[in-house]
Chain A
Amino acid sequence: MGAGLFGYTVRRLLWCIPVLLTVSVIVFWIVRLAPGDPVDTLLGQRYDPAVADRLRHKYGYDQPIYQQYFTYMNNLFHGDLGVSTRHQDFTVKQVVLPKMWVSTQIGFYAMIITFMLGIPVGVYAALARGTFLDPLIIGSWLMLDAIPIFVLIPVAQWFFALKLGIVGLGYDGVYSSHMILPILLLGLPGVAGVARLMRASVITVVGEDYVRTARAKGLKDETVIITHVARNALLPMVSIIGLSLPGLVGGELFLEELFGIPGIGQESLQAVLAPDFDVVLFLVLFSSTLFVLANVLFDLLYGVIDPRIRLGEARG
């Protein structure tokens, strides 16, 4: 397994390079050709053509587009992510990374809540199939999912902060009691979706022959559920988790807006509207890179969880 898996990994990673280069070319062109000029936005109504020319030259926008692309990529490989025009003279690093880190942490905790609750709720619902508990449990979580978050948030803020007075609302760092409410509001609505997938998955697995065999050999119920049913039913969950990981760095617009969290969601929207070329480019390239890498990583993880999916070795 060692050499085969290693070779496979290297091959998959090498394939990422042309994919990402293609993405970078396409994204660069789209961003540059989309309507909107950062220097126009920067100067607003106080426009002076001489000043605009100087600023275009400063940011390199007076160069041909392919030249701009090569300059950008060259800087990128040297660790220079460029400068923001919306936050004039701040570097992209200064603008984006702290906000991305805040969003990632909040998204991560919310995701833990979603899966920690969703998986057992799904298993429970599957095992309770045929009783009134199954639709009751899934249905009640679905209700939470069905309320739009921009309705849920103000109601929760009013109730927990103004009515009960047990939480503060302003942002006070990720690790403060102010963040409990936003993390719960971000995590809980997702429970229904995870639970339904898990429920379907468990129902499929419970009917499998090997589960019957395990029971037949007299294994304890909990052993059967945990080692045979849960492990196999978790397989589809792995790809769900894997594909949602890159989304964590994207932030959550409504939540950040309504709780005043300095996350990346709001910044992304404003960067696209401005437009803030280098910020948009970095955000898109970064999340595509994560997405591509997460795909590779979780393809490999599949092999660990399910021995039947071991690609590229022996027979390969």
Chain B
Amino acid sequence: MSNRTLTLLMGFVAFLILIVGIVFVIAVVGGGGGSSSTAASTSPKTSSSGVTGDICQGNTLVTFGEDPASVLDPIQVRDVGTAEYVIEIFGGLVTLDLNLKVQPDIAASWKVSPDGKAYTFTLRDNVVFQNNRKVTAQDVKYSLERAADPANNSPTVTLYLGNIVGVLDRYNGKAKDVSGVKVIDDKTVEIDLLQPSDYFLAELTQPVAFVVDHEQIDKDPRNWTQHPNGTGPFKLSQFTPADKVVLTRNDRYHLGAAKLDSVVFELGGGSLLTRYQNNELHIGAVPPIDLEAVKAGTSSLSADYKPQPLMDTSYIAFNTRQAPFDDPLVREAFAMSIDRDRINTVLLYGTQRVATSILPPEMPGHNDQVAGYGYDPAKAKQLLAQSKYAGKMPHITLTYAGAGGDAPEILQAIQSGWQDALGITVDLQASEYSAYLRDLRKGTYQMFDAGWAADYPDPEDFLDKLFASDSQQNEQGYNNPAVDALLKQARTETDRTKRFSLYSQAEQKILDDAAIIPTFWPIDHTLVKSCVQNWPSVAMPVPKYRYISIDASKEK
């Protein structure tokens, strides 16, 4: 072939590539004003050029979030990721502050009847929806009845609002309205309970109890969640699934307008750490592999490292209805042969907190005196020898939710602990998530790896839900009449000190029975840029973005 031919051919190709390149550039320039113009006009642009400028100069916080698992309708919210947006957009009668204490939100104050079964809320005068319509007692009644309406299929209403008179009747189609929610006048609403409950207000901070605008829902029942009209500190200005959620400040917010202009949640994930280092995000997360260096202070990220303890507990649970774990001695032996401190130091670089009891330290009612079994392999061996399964131990399998491959390292370490201390080989088996959940409820697993995250800051949410013999969530099949009696008494006890002491007694009994082995209280390994001010440390999602500001002068 002559060189001329090749040159010509290459020239032709170069021409084609040039054309494609020009089309692309035109599209880049044109596209900026075209397809994304609606988004750009309502939301501040985060980064328009390839290289992001100094993110500390603007007044927009860029963080990451999860793709919502439901539409942004408070009564449909069922996961922490979606709740994070909904609690900023909407509000209810009460809310949680940064110390996880219940505080008035739409309600200014409330009175509890002497029998503890009637709550009378007086609404604030200055609460308006984001479209400036005033919130009245009728809006509260509408919102709670809407949550209980069976046609709306709320997945959470029976769980959190079932104690309100008439909610379950409405949900089961036995009533046309919720008789326990009564409008007294425009700014007074009474809520009646089936049983007195000291944690009712904590339940009311849940999204399912938030106030929504019935005018908007009537007008646009299908698509109102794409531009919801709430009462919260932020408005939803953009939501593109898998891409981003943008919240902008609600200037009329009755508890004090936010300092930030807007908050951008990037939903795509991507290489979070790289993007954080590239100054595209204010908030980042430390991947496990970098934890050791970051924690030791030898990484450039160490200065930004803000470990965030969570109100969660990870645990290994026994099926107490099945051999061999129907024998408490076997359970105790298993509990005593896990060296959690060593797992934490060796495997986790000391970044986790070893759970000595069930309730995490952030949980009100956590009691340092309550403790489960410590590491004691000699005693464990002895207990196992006394158990009724001594010498005839059946084959044991521990199931966890996962997609196959190697089991999580922590489980492998626990497995080898049992092997070393007790000489028992436990199989680790992964199960697909929804099958795992279903079999848990059927009670087919011998033992399983699980965790529980607090819905609201009250020990009832852990102890009653997980260990009461009549609870749907008691997958251990744990049944101790003494514990049941304590939990039942605590449900209706309105004196908080007494109630928490009842929970402490119940918790100690549960741990003595080794119904579960608490392993760790997890920690989020968060990175926060130095120019972000007042980033709060709070163990569960509460409205927090209105406190935060950005100060370029604090940038390092």
Contact = CB atoms under 8 A, between A and B. Distances in A.
Contacts of A316: none
Interface string B73-89: 10010110000000000
7 contacts: A35-B434, A46-B159, A87-B69, A119-B13, A175-B27, A175-B30, A260-B275
B482 interface: no
Contact of B155 (A42, A113, A173, A262): A42
A164 B417 CA distance: 48
Given A36-B435, A40-B437, 5 more contacts: A48-B158, A123-B9, A176-B28, A176-B32, A222-B4
B153 A54 contact: yes
Interface in B155-184: 155-156, 158-159, 171-172
B507 interface: no
A46 B77 CA distance: 12
Contacts of A94: 241
A154 B12 CA distance: 34
A170 B20 contact: no
A8 interface: no
Given A40-B434, A49-B472, A173 B31 contact: yes
A162 B267 CA distance: 21
Given A175-B31, A262-B241, A87 B266 contact: no
A6 interface: no
Interface stretch (B49-57, B92-100, B498-506): B49-57
A208 to B, nearest CB: 16
Contact of B240 (A98, A109, A174): A98
A99 B241 contact: yes
Contact of B437 (A47, A86, A157): A47
The SS class assigned to the A binding surface is helix
A273 B436 CA distance: 12
Contact of B50 (A45, A166, A173, A256): A166
A167 B69 CA distance: 31
Interface of B: 1-2, 4-6, 8-10, 12-13, 16-17, 20, 24, 27-28, 30-32, 35-36, 46-52, 67-71, 73, 76, 78-79, 150, 153-156, 158-159, 171-172, 240-243, 266-271, 274-275, 277-278, 280-281, 403, 432-435, 437-438, 441, 452, 455, 472-473
Nearest to A165: B51
Nearest 6 Cβ contacts at the A-B interface? A260-B270, A260-B268, A175-B31, A262-B242, A177-B50, A88-B70
A237 to B, nearest CB: 14
Nearest to B2: A221
Contacts of A172: 46-48
Contact of A46 (B10, B281, B435, B473): B473
Which one of B1, B267, B432 has the greatest number of beta carbons of chain A within 10 Å? B1
A41 interface: yes
Nearest to B39: A173
A69 interface: no
A232 B36 CA distance: 43
Contact of A43 (B8, B24, B155): B155
B518 to A, nearest CB: 16
Contacts of A174: 31
A277 B158 CA distance: 26
Contacts of B48: 172, 176
Contact of B268 (A98, A124, A171, A180): A171
Contacts of B10: 120, 124
Contact of B51 (A36, A113, A166, A275): A166
A89 interface: yes
B274 A46 contact: no
Contact of B71 (A88, A256, A275): A88
Interface in A161-200: 161-162, 165-178, 180
A154 B61 CA distance: 25
A137 B211 CA distance: 66
A112 interface: yes
B31 A116 contact: no
Interface string A26-59: 0000000001111011111111111100110010
A169 B242 contact: no
A45 B280 contact: no
A95 B241 contact: yes
A82 B113 CA distance: 48
A213 B455 CA distance: 81
A267 interface: yes
A116 B9 CA distance: 12
A5 interface: no
A269 to B, nearest CB: 10
B453 to A, nearest CB: 9
B157 to A, nearest CB: 8
Contacts of A221: 1-2, 4-5
Contact of A170 (B1, B73, B78, B280): B280
A42 B79 CA distance: 9
Which one of A54, A58, A98 has the greatest number of beta carbons of chain B within 10 Å? A54
B516 to A, nearest CB: 14
Contacts of A166: 50-51
B434 A98 contact: no
A222 B241 contact: no
B51 A168 contact: yes
A257 interface: yes
B206 to A, nearest CB: 11
B433 to A, nearest CB: 6
A274 B5 contact: no
A116 B47 CA distance: 31
A90 interface: yes
